[in-house]
Structure 1
Amino acid sequence: MTKYVMWGTYCDDVLEKRAPHRQAHLDGLAEQKKSGVLITIGPTKDVTKVFGIYEADDEATVRQLIENDPYWQNGIWTEYFIKEWIQAI
């Protein structure tokens, strides 16, 4: 399977705006992690960007996971991009 890196941007006032969607977001990420498609994900310390590593058959699968996430659907993540990643070590 191919690995993909995702970088995204959070909305302004993210800590307040994410609250109603946070548990559903975390539950979904836990399922992705359990299935093996999500390697890791998290915000930068200043909570302006999100970084994730996925392992999937194709980029479309990763896009679907991101776009079905409550954070994307509710405007908590405001943009994202994905790059295929080659893990050297």
Structure 2
Amino acid sequence: MWGSYCEDVLEKRAPHRQAHLDGLTQQKESGVLITIGPTKDLTKVFGIYEAEDEATVRQLIEADPYWQNGIWTEYDVKEWIQAF
């Protein structure tokens, strides 16, 4: 998953950050989330999920407080083939 953050992300994410992190922790513990995080300049987010299908990943993203509150402004999901 590649996505974009809103302008002034540090300020705007503050009220939603703990709920966001709690949800990601649950996803990680369940095994569906491999890793996720922002680019150093805080303009993009990148995540790797291991799910049955794209619809599952989209449901997780769209249920996230960052998506629901406009912190993530767009996202794209691409199936990835691990070569090594």
TM-score (ref. length: structure 2): 0.99
Determine which structure has the larger strand proportion and give its number.
1
Distance in 2 separating the partners of 1:87 and 1:69: 26
Distance in 1 separating the partners of 2:11 and 2:41: 14
The 5-angstrom pairing of residues 21-32 of structure 1 reads 21-32=16-27
Q: Which runs of 5+ in 2 are unaligned?
A: none
Q: Match for residue 34 of structure 1? A: 29
Distance in 1 separating the partners of 2:78 and 2:53: 11
Aligned-pair identity in percent equals 87
Which fold has the larger relative contact order, with Cα–Cα distance below 8 Å and residues 6 or more apart in sequence? 1
Number of residue-to-residue matches in the alignment: 84
- List structure 1 segments (4+ residues) > 6 angstroms apart after TM superposition: none
TM-score (ref. length: structure 1): 0.94
Q: Which runs of 5+ in 1 are unaligned?
A: 1-5
